[in-house]
Amino acid sequence: MTAPDTNMKKQTKRHKGPLVGMAVAVGIALILLLWLLFRTAADTPETQDAPPPAVEETIGVPAEGTVSGPTDTGAPQVDDSPPEPVE
């Protein structure tokens, strides 16, 4: 079924605004996509800033004993070995 009153000049005039709006929206989307791609490509691990060096803070008086590894909590170390015999 066709439209009963087809006036091409009138229809062209009516559709001009929406078509231009869609073209502008597609153009903006493409510009944003290209900007995102170039920005992502520029942020490779070689060009990113190195993280700041870790700052070691000591709070309070250190516990007695020694800490021997990264899993130790810093609590005082207890020596459970039997005392050496005195001669």
- SS3 assignment, position 73: coil
Contact 65, 76 (CB under 8 A): yes
Under the banding of pLDDT at 50, 70 and 90, the label for residue 62 is: low
Portion of the chain with pLDDT greater than 90, in percent = 26
Say what the pTM is: 0.43
What's the CA gap between 19 and 26, in Å, rounded?
A: 11
pLDDT of 52: 65
